[in-house]
């Protein structure tokens, strides 16, 4: 996967692909090095990088932990049983390098003169760091993505690991800017009156439309606010109330036209395709029989047929952690058109990676209305809009949505206690989030839904506890004395839980 990632998806010169934790030892400038990469290259490569980070191994692990899929062989089988190896490549060669590094350079190059670029950079960096801290807890932030020195080395070769609470909420005494304020700065930049350079085709998602980036920024604030709701509920209420009461624009088009979807194509396929179809280790995971059972209980086979393949008359799943041999490869249900993308000859990796969507925003607002708002008038509307937007995003029609709601009043109507309604909301959000399991993993650790049971076989740091975080990497631990040592085991909760 590393070879595919570096050689196919990233066109930034190798100078920029330096780890946030490993600087060049040679302090002299290399006259042959490409030190002035244009913002348009940095932007396009970083956007693809975020999509790849989310959908590659980090997302694969989350999809197995959250029992969308079950592992059959190799690392997938290990992840399925809660045994997560050191994710050195994902940490050093995907997330921090080159993606965070390039975003830092983009911001450094354009801040003050071309705020449209610096604003997008700040918004993408905030999203990327949220992935890192949500999965690992304390991570480099204030000293990461700070651009390069004149000799091409990172400004901080051994960045500190900031506390997750400081990353989210900031710490003035330590000079740590909160993710919320980083997003607010990004929103201010994309709403600037003028910019020397303007993104166009290099903005692969919105084509340089700053009003859509403004919607992305406000949507990101919704996501971050809900993430800290257990530890900083006043922040949650203040941030979301400000967006709702002031009618600030968010990603809310149910037809998906405003969704933040990182594009891929058959020439540069998404990571799901590389993992399961076109890479060196195919056929290592398939549909979990547990997710299949949930979808059957919801009578949601039409949407499931978009999420997963149906090789015969019925879907074929496999139990998580099962010691029994998996079904023959030709009979397995695996990711379908919604996740992989298809051409006339079969899956081709052309599906986008969906990072910020109308369906997720509506479920966020539904949870906010249920838990925090004084007025719950729009609660049911948000909830139904979330399901509707999800179904439309798979290619179903509004008539399909209407027929599903009519045939399933128990799904259509929120009912029961407050906790039961929360379970309904999060369960539907979980179903909709096939293809972005990291978000479901966050929700599960945050509120305990959907209801999951342990795989049939478990291992890892604590076979009795589902991993609450990813383990720190070996390479970072040996090169950066600031990484927590001894590392917290995977059964240790992150701060916002």
What are residue 342's DSSP bridge partners? 347
For the chain, give every domain's residue range.
2-23+36-264+354-479
Cα gap 307→297, rounded to integer Å: 16
Mean pLDDT per 10-residue interval, the chain, length 497 residues: 35 35 33 68 97 96 98 96 96 95 96 97 98 98 89 86 98 98 98 97 98 98 98 98 98 98 95 81 92 98 96 95 95 96 90 98 98 93 98 97 98 97 98 98 98 98 98 95 96 98
CA-CA distances (angstroms) from residue 347 to 9, 65, 272, 353?
Answer: 19, 24, 10, 15
What confidence score (pLDDT) does residue 282 get? 84
Residue 27 is predicted with a pLDDT of: 31
Domain 2-23+36-264+354-479 has CATH 3.10.20.30: no
pTM for this predicted structure: 0.93
Residue identified by tokens 């801040």 is 111
| Tally of residues, the chain | 497
CB 422 within 8 A of CB 449: yes
CA distance 495 to 489: 14
Contact 230, 172 (CB under 8 A): no
At residue 281, the pLDDT reads: 76
- Here the tokens at position 348 are 């081709």
Compute CA distances 472 → 31, 118, 136, 142, 195, whole Å: 36, 30, 7, 18, 40
**What was the pLDDT predicted at 35?**
55
Q: What is the model's pLDDT at position 5?
A: 33
Token readout for 169 is 């909420």
């Amino acid at each position: 996967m590393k070879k595919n990632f570096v050689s196919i998806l990233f066109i930034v010169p190798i100078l920029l692909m330096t780890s946030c934790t490993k600087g060049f030892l040679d302090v002299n400038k290399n006259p042959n090095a490409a030190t002035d990469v244009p913002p348009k290259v940095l932007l396009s490569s970083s956007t693809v990088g975020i999509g790849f980070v989310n959908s590659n191994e980090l997302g694969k692990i989350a999809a197995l932990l959250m029992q969308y899929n079950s592992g059959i062989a190799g690392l997938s089988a290990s992840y399925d049983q809660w045994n997560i190896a050191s994710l050195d490549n994902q940490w050093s060669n995907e997330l921090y390098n080159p993606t965070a590094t390039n975003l830092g350079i983009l911001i450094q190059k354009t801040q003050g003169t071309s705020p449209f670029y610096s604003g997008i950079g700040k918004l993408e960096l905030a999203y990327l760091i949220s992935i890192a801290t949500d999965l690992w807890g304390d991570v480099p932030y204030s000293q990461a993505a700070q651009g390069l020195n004149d000799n091409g080395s990172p400004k901080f070769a051994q960045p500190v690991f900031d506390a997750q609470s400081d990353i989210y909420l900031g710490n003035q005494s330590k000079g740590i800017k909160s993710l919320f304020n980083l997003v607010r700065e990004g929103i201010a930049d994309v709403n600037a009156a003028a910019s020397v350079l303007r993104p166009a085709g290099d903005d692969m998602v919105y084509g340089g439309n700053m009003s859509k980036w403004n919607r992305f920024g406000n949507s990101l604030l919704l996501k971050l606010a809900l993430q800290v709701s257990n530890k900083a509920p006043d922040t949650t209420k203040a941030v979301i109330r400000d967006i709702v009461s002031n009618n600030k624009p968010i990603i809310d088009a149910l037809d998906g036209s405003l969704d933040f979807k990182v594009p891929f194509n058959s020439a540069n396929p998404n990571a799901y395709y590389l993992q399961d179809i076109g890479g060196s280790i195919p056929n290592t995971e398939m549909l979990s029989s547990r997710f299949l059972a949930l979808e059957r209980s919801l009578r949601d086979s039409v949407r499931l047929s978009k999420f997963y393949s149906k090789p015969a008359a019925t879907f074929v799943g496999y139990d998580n952690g099962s010691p029994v041999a998996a079904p023959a490869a030709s009979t397995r249900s695996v990711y379908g058109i919604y996740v992989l993308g298809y051409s006339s000859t079969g899956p081709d990796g052309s599906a986008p990676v969906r990072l910020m969507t109308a369906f997720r925003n509506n479920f966020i607002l539904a949870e906010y209305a249920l838990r925090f708002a004084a007025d719950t008038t729009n609660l049911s509307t948000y909830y139904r809009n979330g399901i509707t937007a999800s179904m439309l995003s798979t290619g179903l029609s509004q008539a399909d949505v209407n027929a599903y709601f009519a045939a399933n009043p128990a799904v259509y109507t929120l009912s029961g206690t407050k906790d039961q309604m929360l379970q309904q909301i999060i369960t539907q959000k979980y179903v909709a989030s096939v293809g972005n399991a990291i978000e479901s993993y966050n929700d599960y650790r945050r509120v305990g839904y959907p209801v999951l049971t342990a795989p049939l076989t478990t291992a890892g740091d604590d076979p009795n506890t589902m991993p609450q975080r990813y383990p720190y990497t070996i390479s970072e631990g040996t090169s950066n004395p600031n990484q927590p040592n001894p590392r917290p085991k995977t059964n240790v909760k992150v701060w916002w839980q």
